[in-house]
Structure 1
């Protein structure tokens, strides 16, 4: 197996920051981590000297992303899946949930089938890893559709979902739906049996309806504040329900557009860092120039880092990168580097039951590692032991 050494590094571990350390990677795994004085002899290996860089951190995990680099998962093509995986690595994302959106049944079925094939047949290292699927829609509320095509929205349907999970070869890990439309919580009950994370999103539920759904098993809230009823003093809405119940994890898009940055202070006070999950909700325009792009058959205008439906002006995903989201959090909240990584890596891995192999730098885990420059920029991204991205001046 090929070996790689990261030396003279400041390594961010889960419980501490290791100064003047090393990481030894063998194959796809981290073999050992320690102080440079304990570093094994390095002979004929790939060596990256990190002395002029800021931090070595675990790769970030995006559990809600639709596309990047000019591609969208709904394109349903191998070329698109590969293009997104490569584009995500540039922003420090080493694994992700491929996120679908409301479209005709046949189109969603085709995408799920092709994503399943891609996940099972593409073991290539050196690209961000697809670790599952986030099914966003079509079981949502038309009143909170956002950028989801209204004519393809459906009421929750257990039979159809089970067909889709079979097509995905059990790859669906999260489903976003409107629980107030789920009669007798039939879909929610099935999701609990199947151990799939049920998330309330694109929902018009009142506070009482949200609390009832949480009582019956909802444990997740999709892009908090967006696609749901907000806080009101007579109806705290879905936002109030999510914030007031400890069992609910909340996704946030820290781009400075989807909500006022100061609201994150409220979220942290209410949820603690343990229940916050940074996402990008990225679309195909991420990493591309301003212009007009397609999203589920709709035109999206991208200008000044804001994505809106050309027809209505509704927000339509984002182009924020995981690394920029991380740096925004550091600026707005004054979070330490370990706290930043808790909500961009650790929590996601734990939420998906993957912390035994992802989410932190530890011997035995996947070698998903990012090296940050002195200004917080991505210098290297390593995905399962292979370099997926390096900035052009990395070895100068």
Structure 2
């Protein structure tokens, strides 16, 4: 395989910044360090980046769709194209294809489609089951008629159909049977995430949820007499929290608050994107419901936010502009934390032996190109 060397770059490895550095890779990272350590080797394809910024590829653990496609369609060809578009337009080098509350048959179909797509497109590294074990009170854009009580047997069925790829489940821990359900998830190696939930702080102190789905959104909010889901996530320092940093789901001041409380080590940027991301504004669809996209917002007919049309490259920049995060902080929130939490041992950092999943950005933090397993992809407009 071709060996590529990116030289004279500003490298954010996930643990340090190298101001004048190089990175050498084929499908894996072979060497990384300051230019003073670089020794050219025969056959190297050298690209002088002249001060451009190099960071680990983005890891999105919560994305339903985009570019006209959706994981719930269960079509392997379309899911494959969806993941490729996320790579080429946004720099997402690792994706958890995300489902939603739907019928058992439809989720079965989605799992089969994701499994077939993931067999040939290794950007797809997992599945996030968002529902159907959620609370009616905070269903958001999830269709109420398909909400289900916690059922570990169904999870086992879906995990098997996906090829063992289910990594994360969003559920409401206040529902009956949740303690046994959580134990079953953990035994399967699946992270339990509180979301679309009306749980109280007391409920959650008895729960094994270690992750919160889209912090602030579709959950019992924090108040002065009841911390709710949001307050619990803020109070528990080891809990990972997703943030949709589009400025609409969460206003910038509240993004800044979450960053100050949680810190860069426990926040994970997600898009929660749906089918109409990357498409013209107008009417779209989510779980059989009409969605209307206008001014970079996707809403149901009643005005409920219905996922997002956020591109991950914009979430990265927004973390810096809205939260006051540094580039190093944003790298943690877009790659390092996800790899750590989900045991993605070959992802999330620019280190020898890791997969060559790399994003190249301008000094202004505009995405220029991505490498997925060392294969070059010029960023599409």
**Contact 2:61–2:270 at 8 Å: present in 1 too?**
yes
State the Cα deviation string for residues 350-393 of structure 1 (Å, max 9, x = none).
01111x3111111111000011013211111110100123458x
Q: What is the 5 A alignment of 1:121-270?
A: 121-122=119-120, 129-183=123-177, 185-213=179-207, 217-270=208-261
**Contact 2:24–2:31 at 8 Å: present in 1 too?**
yes
State the Cα deviation string for residues 169-201 of structure 1 (Å, max 9, x = none).
211000001111132622112112222100011
Q: What is the CA–CA distance in structure 1 between the aligned matches of 2:117 and 2:379, rounded to whole Å?
A: 25
**Contact 2:14–2:56 at 8 Å: present in 1 too?**
no
Aligned: 1:104 with 2:93: no
> Deviation at 1:210?
2.5
| 1:299–1:330 CA distance, 2 compared to 1 (3 A) | same
Q: Which runs of 5+ in 2 are unaligned?
A: none
Q: What is the CA–CA distance in structure 2 between the aligned matches of 1:141 and 1:286, rounded to whole Å?
A: 27
**Contact 1:378–1:391 at 8 Å: present in 2 too?**
no
> Deviation at 1:45?
4.2
| 1:302–1:382 CA distance, 2 compared to 1 (3 A) | same
* Among 62, 67, 70, the residue aligned to 1:69: 67
Q: What is the CA–CA distance in structure 1 between the aligned matches of 2:138 and 2:308, rounded to whole Å?
A: 17
Alignment coverage as a number of residue pairs: 380
Q: TM-score with structure 2 length normalisation?
A: 0.95
Aligned to 2:356: 367
196-205 vs 37-46, which deviates more?
Answer: 37-46
Aligned: 1:54 with 2:52: yes
Aligned: 1:293 with 2:300: no
| 1:113–1:78 CA distance, 2 compared to 1 (3 A) | closer
291-300 vs 177-186, which deviates more?
Answer: 177-186
Q: TM-score with structure 1 length normalisation?
A: 0.92
| 1:265–1:50 CA distance, 2 compared to 1 (3 A) | same
Q: What is the CA–CA distance in structure 1 between the aligned matches of 2:319 and 2:333, rounded to whole Å?
A: 10
**Contact 2:150–2:178 at 8 Å: present in 1 too?**
no
RMSD over aligned Cα atoms:
1.6
Aligned to 2:76: 78
Aligned to 1:280: 271
Q: What is the CA–CA distance in structure 2 between the aligned matches of 1:363 and 1:387, rounded to whole Å?
A: 19
The structure 1 segments of at least 4 consecutive aligned residues displaced by more than 6 Å after TM superposition are none
Q: Which runs of 5+ in 1 are unaligned?
A: none
> Deviation at 1:288?
1.4
> Deviation at 1:15?
2.9
> Deviation at 1:160?
1.6
Q: What is the 5 A alignment of 1:299-338?
A: 299-310=290-301, 312-338=302-328
186-195 vs 274-283, which deviates more?
Answer: 186-195
Q: What is the CA–CA distance in structure 1 between the aligned matches of 2:142 and 2:35, rounded to whole Å?
A: 52
218-227 vs 7-16, which deviates more?
Answer: 7-16
Aligned: 1:357 with 2:355: no
> Deviation at 1:59?
0.5
**Contact 1:182–1:188 at 8 Å: present in 2 too?**
no
Q: What is the CA–CA distance in structure 1 between the aligned matches of 2:129 and 2:168, rounded to whole Å?
A: 6
Aligned: 1:380 with 2:369: yes
